[in-house]
Amino acid sequence: MEWGMANRMSKLIQSDGRCLFLPIDHGYFQGPTRKLEQPRKTLEPILDYADAIFITRGVLRSSVDPDKAKPIILRVSGGTSMVGKDLANEGITTSMEEAIRLNVAAVGISIFVGSDYEKDSLLNLSKLVDEGEKYGIPVMAVTAVGKELEKRDARYLALASRIAAELGARVVKTYWCENFDRVTGGCPVPVVMAGGPQVDTELEVFEFVHDGIQKGAVGVNLGRNVWQNEYPVAMIKALRAIIHDNATPKEAQAIYDSIKSKKKKQKTA
């Protein structure tokens, strides 16, 4: 691996082989999503605990100070919205020159395997990889399912993740699912897990993240289940413990509960 590529990869995946990416890119198709209405406000308390952030250029420029930033994974696909015809019909929104100007550690793009735009999104990935490899910039492929959340099973996610790796993605972001080892086992590049919409309890998040790590994921790219939580700092610290300190879900829950109760006391004092 070229020096530049290796250096950028090491900014993403830490020396223990694990990573906690924090995505706040959701506005690029969802608009001002709940708790991400003001990205700067959402990000400030939790930024220090992330290994990298996944973000668009607009929010990066407007809401992250360059002297306090973490490694950036720049979201460079888009062009569709929740209210448009088909979320899968994405194009590349940001040039590689812009990514270099923003001094990114990686760029990220969604692929929509099985959709009407499968071929377009896969060719977009391939072109982005060609450009990224020229300059030593890794591409993270996001196996997106649009509004069809029920697609998230091992058979589909293993297929989509493998295709992303075959086309040259250096990291694959996919969803956790039952039998997650089928996904990691068939994907020759590091796999990180997204969370999807917020789930009912913190413990559910800790359990799936822990399970995914045991089954070969190198970490997470977890957004709504962190910053839509009432206690996002507690949530991200508990997740760090699972990812970087091998905490169990129960230990993570104890970390969450203790930070939450301190925060509650501060609020009532």
| Residues tagged active-site | 173
CA-atom Rg of the chain in angstroms: 18
Scan residues 95-154 and list those touching ligand 5RP (CB under 6 A): 142
The answer to the question of residue 54 lying near ligand 5RP (CB under 6 A) is yes
Within 13 A of 42's CA, how many CA atoms are on the CB side?
A: 26
Give 221 or 253: the residue with its C-beta nearer to ligand 5RP: 221
In angstroms, give the least distance from the CB of 3 to ligand 5RP.
28
Q: How many residues does the chain have?
A: 269
253's CB contacts (< 8 A; 6+ apart) are 202, 203, 206, 238
The answer to the question of residue 74 lying near ligand 5RP (CB under 6 A) is no
Scan residues 226-245 and list those touching ligand 5RP (CB under 6 A): none
Q: Which of 8, 13, 18, 23 binds ligand 5RP (CB under 6 A)?
A: 23
Select from 98-106, 181-189, 193-201, 261-269 the region that touches ligand 5RP (CB under 6 A).
193-201
244's CB contacts (< 8 A; 6+ apart) are 14, 16, 18, 20
Q: Which of 26, 70, 152, 240 binds ligand 5RP (CB under 6 A)?
A: 26
The answer to the question of residue 223 lying near ligand 5RP (CB under 6 A) is yes
Cβ neighbours around 178 below 10 Å, total = 10
SS (H, E, C) 29-69: HHCCCCCCCCHHHHHCCCHHHCCEEEECHHHHHHHCCCCCC
**From CA 109, how far away is CA 199, in angstroms rounded?**
25
Q: Which of 19, 36, 129, 194 binds ligand 5RP (CB under 6 A)?
A: 194
The answer to the question of residue 196 lying near ligand 5RP (CB under 6 A) is yes
In angstroms, give the least distance from the CB of 54 to ligand 5RP.
5
The answer to the question of residue 224 lying near ligand 5RP (CB under 6 A) is yes
Amino acid, res. 88:
A
Q: Which residues bind ligand 5RP (CB under 6 A)?
A: 23, 25-26, 54, 142, 194-196, 221-225
